[in-house]
Amino acid sequence: MKAIVIRNTGEANVLRLETVADPTPRAGEAVIAVEACGVCFHDVVVRNGTFKAGIERPLIPGHEVAGRIVALSGDPQGFAVGDRVATTQRSHICGHCGWCRSAREPLCDDAQFMGDRGLNGGYAEFVCVGTNNLVKIPNQVSADQASIAACAIGTVLQAVRDIGNVKPAETVLVTGAGGGLGIHAIQLSRLCGARVIAQTTSQAKVERIRQAGAHDVVVTSRGTDFSTDLRQLTDGRGVDCAIDTVGTPLFVSTRKSLAKAARWVLVGQLTGEFVPFNPAQLFLRNISMLSATSTTRQGLADTLALIAQGAVLPVIDTVMPLSEASAAHRLLEAGSISGRIVLRP
């Protein structure tokens, strides 16, 4: 099969189109013919070496997949050859530990994040995935839409609904609002009944952000403290919840934008830099620092249902052939896209 392979860390040109062996399923696995694969900033930090945990090269990147099952091995768990399916971000979980049995399978000690190790990732014609990491795609949802459902939408569904516990009439800050996570966090926060204040560094993305449902948009240059603007928009109170898709570069501004008893949900981290801060700045104001990583199988099913109902619109900026993966990474790093890029093998 044709696949994009990373053998060494580096710039986008280390993404090479190669011919590798087709995947062979083990018991409990399905082989999927990939119809669409989302491009995530996680792929970028794996490629450039910023993200190191669990990485084993050579690897095929990509963890956002939609396609059709072409082979099954062992217990099919209700799936059949020909089924249209989307994947969670994982290729394997144990399925029986406390995390898996309590619908928190992203925390499974045996979980394998797809595209982080070995020649089994979404930037390929075929990928091998455990059937307990698959969800059937509703007829109303396209492969392109389904490919970004787990990561770009399902992760922020978990952040907004399950962890951030966003309620009607609350005010939510979404950082990095023009990106793949941020643009969908706006929609999901609105769906929960919240007022949404979106932060972006791109004036060019403002209209797209407003179309996604943001009530207010704060445009700041990189590194600029936007907390004064947030305080003015909230009559000095601050926001009830922050869905933070950026991390370190906006850490101080986000912290200073929070109301008393606010929830700060960390979803993304774009750099490898650390941040020093005084914990008293949080606990004296009863602020909770939380995190959302990946999505569950149920979360993916819920996300696909929301898309099928028209309650959430997947935002896809560009669709490109697999051979242009390097160009896709350059676009993502330039910060010039709104939503997600999708690759089609």
pLDDT score, position 336: 83
pLDDT score, position 273: 85
- 211 located within any domain: yes
pLDDT score, position 36: 98
48 and 172 part of one domain: no
Q: What is the pLDDT of residues 41-92, one digit of tens each?
A: 999 999 999 999 899 999 999 999 999 999 999 988 999 999 999 999 999 9
280 and 323 part of one domain: no
Task: Tell me how many domains the chain contains.
Answer: 2
Q: Which domain holds residue 70?
A: 2-148+314-344
- 171 located within any domain: yes
163 and 139 part of one domain: no
257: nearest Cα among 239, 275, 277, 245: 239
- 121 located within any domain: yes
pLDDT score, position 269: 82
Residue spans of the chain under pLDDT 70: none
pLDDT score, position 224: 86
Find the CATH number of the domain harbouring 158: 3.90.180.10
140 and 43 part of one domain: yes
74 and 203 part of one domain: no
- 298 located within any domain: no
- 161 located within any domain: yes
Long-range pairs for 11-17 at CB < 8 Å and ≥24 separation?
11/48, 12/47, 12/326, 12/327, 12/329, 12/330, 12/333, 13/326, 14/47, 15/47, 15/61, 15/123, 15/325, 15/326, 15/329, 17/322, 17/323, 17/325
pTM for this model (two decimals)? 0.94
